[in-house]
Amino acid sequence: MSNENQNAELNQLVCREQGELIQKNSDQRPAILLKEDTCKQLIREAINSLKYSYTPYSGFKVGAALLTNDLKIYNGCNIENASFTPTNCAERTAFFKAVSEGKKDFKAIAIVGGKDGILTDYCSPCGVCRQVMMEFCNPKTFIVILAKSEDDYWIYTLEELIPLGFGPKNLTLDK
């Protein structure tokens, strides 16, 4: 890949700069989305949520920490069921807790997971969880943090994880 192509690709990414996570907006000026200490706090909360996972069948524990726009954190863990279909993911648990308490505006989510709660790889949200995120979040600005530790994580916007996603705006007459 040429340096010109690499630079163009880097201009599209969310990256860390001077302790802040930034994204290039349409004017190519950085806009602050989330402070790094907030990102690390969310990762710690997600890791802490692993201990509440109920996973007697797969042993794959997942924890999530969801940040509202008013900076409240809702934790979630995965909860398995013997018939599998009613199993609930950590991400949806966090969203449903928040929505059940009247929260509907969200800024970011951190997700961690691994067999027996050992974080050896990044744990990406399933398609159903991504669809729940589309229901309540702006895909261009909602941040998804996939972490192995506080110091080892990837950051995406929801739009990067579900391009051409279907959400409430698809059902309105004003497009």
Backbone angles phi, psi at 107, to 5 degrees: -110, -40
CA 110/CA 119 separation, integer angstroms: 13
* Nearest CA among 110, 126, 133, 130 for reference residue 47: 110
Contacts of 85-89 with C-beta under 8 Å, sequence gap 24+, read 89/62, 89/64, 89/125, 89/126, 89/128, 89/129
Q: What angle do CA 23, 131, 165 make, to 5 degrees?
A: 60
And the tokens for 1? 């890949």
Chain-centroid distance, C-alpha 103: 16
**91 tagged catalytic:** yes
Residue 165 CB neighbours (<10 A) = 17
Catalytic hit among 45, 91, 101, 159:
91
As annotated, the active-site residues are 91
